[in-house]
Structure 1
């Protein structure tokens, strides 16, 4: 029996689009049908290295392409991605578009996909990155066992849209949500890179801190940090230390007291004192492996979702209601925060861990069990089975 024909994917754009191209080029069941961009020498050379056709005009596209990935800035970011996505759907191509997209445009795209009988998906990307996926899966198991008491989250302003999606998937729902306006900053305290607001997300108290500064010409390189999320229950706190890991589990500190109100530190009922104060789940990699492996794999997962939707068929607008709700929440938050401060800082000087811990032994306190100095810790699960199947239906 012959293998099914590959799902042929056109990639539009060669900046972030290179990660889409690598995903389609490598992933089993897909074929990179070509690169479409504005005609730069570097884009042409990149297409040659992949051995695929290069296009600058939609009218030159051949028949037999199933889908297009639009990794070109949308109008909200000053690009032509919005018009391009619609034009590709007019050619009966399914479309996967990189975030962000304005709420009105997302609504229009989903309606247009319905009219054309094609599928449209907005890719917020980061919920599919492996460490974030691990956090989401663990959060779903945690909230199935215990009621969430708080969410504390931090994000750069340009990644706030994906943050909303991460929280929605982690908590299993978006509703109910409501937010207070951020507290005004006193004029006499000087510049503040972060703005904070409080609210309720999926019925859970939320504290959100946003790095509210933006270099419009180089957003990623000048974010002070990426996603950081803590989800707390009575049993402990689950933390995503960074978009790219690791995930941390910190059990709740609770010590029984005797009749004289002293801590009971040994004997019956003190078994929980043997729990690790914080367990590190998963390994962290280098920025190089982030670009070579984590991001293309995440995009491959998004492609799988588009292909499955194309095979099922159905109403793109109906299936896009969750994406619309995520976008609506992001729009609400952005309106409350207002425009970010525009900054154009100098090139930063990233530091290595050896700059902060010059003596390798300082990386670990030897009074605690742990891996050898210099190794990235990866914790084994302490004899517990998953609490919930890894399903992610959200409303």
Structure 2
């Protein structure tokens, strides 16, 4: 009766799995909402000096705690920490690396010293970047690369626990059974390093129509997770395949002949800011195949004259969007250091500008950096974020690409950039 409909069953929920999913949801709520009355009671009795992931069963546990305790391993497998200032994150015990697997370091901890212990110990407080000397001394090469791929902000943002999207799509809430059932039985058994890696392998081993179905199912699995967070009911995992097939057929039937869509007219050229306002353009350069990136910011006044510029380079292999977020932070920090009261922060990466305009707390890998930007923006009398196409951001782009400069900060525009607008 609990078999999937396309396997000849009735598609009823597996009550045991459904119960485990609900218990895991309750454990997640206790974990992420510590001020709830239930959370405070459970913590006071069973883990007063820690948090739920490190709790023990305790003596004479209640039936409620016995049930919740059983699902803690499932909760632990599906979350990781997003790094803010790193103070509350254990290097060795917490999952905080963003690639596949457990999210923990592979390096064996030294028994001769307790340092480093927290992720904050790996961050240089003056430069607010990873301390390369400590990382190279303590960690194996594989972990060095994984750590340098983690973006850090301005050390104002606190850490945050995040649900792993890959775990949600492939394992959680019965999704592991979906990918082992028809029409996906031809998929080879393998572990996936990221949601992108999952999509690449699905595309490699599935036909076009099955790949379309797989992407719909993955999307709906994440939608189910979002609905559960606000108390709504999602589609059971056992019904996802049949729901996805119906959705795909409806989608194909509803397709209309392609029409010309109106284009949003984004500015293509740099324009002067209003009188009394400083415009700061930012950009990032990520050389292909290299383990470093650079960011730049250049400020100009109403007359179009340069009033300050700065270039910084970092070791690491961040995603382009994460590098652009760092560049936006450089620009707004530059404005604050100069004492400007009214500024326009302008860049050519639409995802970053849109997120800053929305002023929402972002749970993405670069969310902590955006939180820093938004916190600093509150200190200005006037601060807006503008998007301009690459052709209007050429000066910041050329600055970011030029890494051979001896001086990487100044008020006057470098001579070799004088002809670039």
Please state which band the TM-score falls in when normalised by the shorter chain. Answer: under 0.3
The answer to which structure has the higher helix fraction is 2
Q: TM-score, normalised by structure 1?
A: 0.27
Which structure: larger Rg?
A: 2
Which fold has the larger relative contact order, with Cα–Cα distance below 8 Å and residues 6 or more apart in sequence?
1
Q: TM-score, normalised by structure 2?
A: 0.25
